[in-house]
A = this chain, B = another copy of it.
Amino acid sequence: MSAHALVSFLLAVAAIIVLARAFGWLARLVGQPPVIGELVAGVLIGPTLFGTAVSDWLLPAEIRPVMSGLANLGLVLFMFIVGYELDHASLRGRGRTATSVSIGSIVAPLGLGVLLAGWLAGRHDVSDPLPFALFIGAAMAVTAFPVLARILTDRGMVRTPVGGLALASAAVDDVVAWSLLAVVVAVAGADGANPWLPLLCVPYTLLMLLVVRPLLARVDTARARAGRLTPDILAVVLVGLLLSSLATEWLGLHAIFGAFLFGAVMPRTRAGAAEPSGADKLRVETLERLEQVSVLLLLPAFFVLSGLRVDLSTLGGTGLLELAAILVVAIGGKFAGAYVAARLNKVATRPAGALAILMNTRGLTEIVILTVGLELGIIDERVFSMMVVMALVTTVMAGPLLSLVYPRRMVERDALAVQRPEVPPAGYRVLVSLPGGLAPAPALVDLAADLAERGAAAAGHSSAEVVLSRLVPYPARPLDVGSGLSEELLGMTTAMGELAGLADSVRARGLGAPVLARFSRDPEADLAAQLAAVEPDVLIRGGEPAVVVALGSGAEAVRREAAEFAASRGFDVVIASGEPAESRTSGVTGG
Q: Which residues of A contact B (CB under 8 A)?
A: 1, 3, 5-7, 9-11, 13-14, 17-18, 21, 25, 62-63, 65-66, 68-70, 72-73, 76, 231-232, 234-235, 238-239, 242-243, 245-246, 249-250, 255, 289, 292-293, 295-297, 375, 480
A73 near B13 (CB under 8 angstroms)? yes
A292 near B293 (CB under 8 angstroms)? yes
Q: Tell me whether A239 and B18 are in contact in the complex, defined as CB-CB below 8 angstroms, given that A65-B66, A295-B231, A296-B231 are known contacts.
A: yes
Kindly list the 10 A-B residue pairs having the minimum CB-CB distance in the complex, ordered from nearest. A66-B69, A14-B242, A10-B246, A1-B68, A293-B293, A21-B235, A10-B242, A14-B239, A7-B246, A289-B292
A242 near B289 (CB under 8 angstroms)? no
Partner of A238, one of B65, B76, B242, B296: B296
CA gap between A3 and B255 in the complex, in Å: 9
Among A11, A62, A249, A292, chain B packs the most CB atoms within 10 A around the CB of A292
A6 near B63 (CB under 8 angstroms)? no
Contacts of A5 in B (CB 8 A): 65
User: Smallest CB–CB gap between A287 and chain B, Å?
Assistant: 12
User: Smallest CB–CB gap between A559 and chain B, Å?
Assistant: 42
Q: Tell me whether A238 and B17 are in contact in the complex, defined as CB-CB below 8 angstroms, given that A7-B249, A11-B246, A249-B6 are known contacts.
A: yes
A255 near B295 (CB under 8 angstroms)? no
Contacts of A9 in B (CB 8 A): 69, 72
B1 near A65 (CB under 8 angstroms)? yes
CA gap between A14 and B255 in the complex, in Å: 14
Given contacts A10-B72, A17-B242, could you give 8 more A-B pairs where the C-beta distance is less than 8 Å? A10-B242, A10-B255, A13-B242, A14-B239, A18-B235, A21-B235, A63-B69, A65-B66
CA gap between A72 and B9 in the complex, in Å: 9
Q: Tell me whether A14 and B231 are in contact in the complex, defined as CB-CB below 8 angstroms, given that A3-B249, A7-B249, A69-B66 are known contacts.
A: no
User: Smallest CB–CB gap between A152 and chain B, Å?
Assistant: 23
Contacts of A245 in B (CB 8 A): 10
Contacts of A21 in B (CB 8 A): 231-232, 235
Q: Tell me whether A14 and B246 are in contact in the complex, defined as CB-CB below 8 angstroms, given that A63-B69, A66-B69 are known contacts.
A: yes
Q: List 16 A-B contacts (CB under 8 A).
A: A3-B375, A5-B65, A6-B246, A7-B246, A9-B72, A10-B242, A10-B243, A13-B242, A14-B238, A17-B238, A17-B239, A62-B65, A63-B65, A231-B292, A231-B480, A238-B297
B6 near A72 (CB under 8 angstroms)? yes
Contacts of A293 in B (CB 8 A): 292-293
Among A6, A13, A68, A72, chain B packs the most CB atoms within 10 A around the CB of A6
Contacts of A13 in B (CB 8 A): 73, 242
CA gap between A68 and B66 in the complex, in Å: 8
Contacts of A296 in B (CB 8 A): 231, 234-235, 238
CA gap between A292 and B235 in the complex, in Å: 10
Contacts of A76 in B (CB 8 A): 10
Contacts of A6 in B (CB 8 A): 72, 246, 249, 255
CA gap between A296 and B13 in the complex, in Å: 20
Partner of A14, one of B17, B25, B68, B243: B243
User: Smallest CB–CB gap between A326 and chain B, Å?
Assistant: 27
Of all chain B residues, the one with the shortest Cβ separation from A11 is B246
Contacts of A11 in B (CB 8 A): 242, 246
CA gap between A295 and B25 in the complex, in Å: 30
Of all chain B residues, the one with the shortest Cβ separation from A18 is B239
Of all chain B residues, the one with the shortest Cβ separation from A228 is B477
CA gap between A63 and B286 in the complex, in Å: 27
Contacts of A73 in B (CB 8 A): 13
CA gap between A1 and B63 in the complex, in Å: 12
CA gap between A295 and B3 in the complex, in Å: 25
User: Smallest CB–CB gap between A77 and chain B, Å?
Assistant: 11
Of all chain B residues, the one with the shortest Cβ separation from A9 is B69
User: Smallest CB–CB gap between A2 and chain B, Å?
Assistant: 9
Among A10, A18, A289, chain B packs the most CB atoms within 10 A around the CB of A10
CA gap between A517 and B293 in the complex, in Å: 38
User: Smallest CB–CB gap between A75 and chain B, Å?
Assistant: 10
CA gap between A39 and B112 in the complex, in Å: 58
Contacts of A62 in B (CB 8 A): 65
User: Smallest CB–CB gap between A69 and chain B, Å?
Assistant: 4
User: Smallest CB–CB gap between A384 and chain B, Å?
Assistant: 16
CA gap between A249 and B70 in the complex, in Å: 22
A292 near B69 (CB under 8 angstroms)? no
CA gap between A256 and B353 in the complex, in Å: 57
CA gap between A36 and B76 in the complex, in Å: 30
Of all chain B residues, the one with the shortest Cβ separation from A73 is B13
Of all chain B residues, the one with the shortest Cβ separation from A2 is B375
User: Smallest CB–CB gap between A566 and chain B, Å?
Assistant: 35
User: Smallest CB–CB gap between A230 and chain B, Å?
Assistant: 9
A1 near B234 (CB under 8 angstroms)? no
User: Smallest CB–CB gap between A190 and chain B, Å?
Assistant: 15
Of all chain B residues, the one with the shortest Cβ separation from A245 is B10
CA gap between A246 and B15 in the complex, in Å: 12
Partner of A250, one of B7, B70, B292: B7
Contacts of A63 in B (CB 8 A): 65, 69
CA gap between A262 and B461 in the complex, in Å: 76
Contacts of A3 in B (CB 8 A): 249, 375
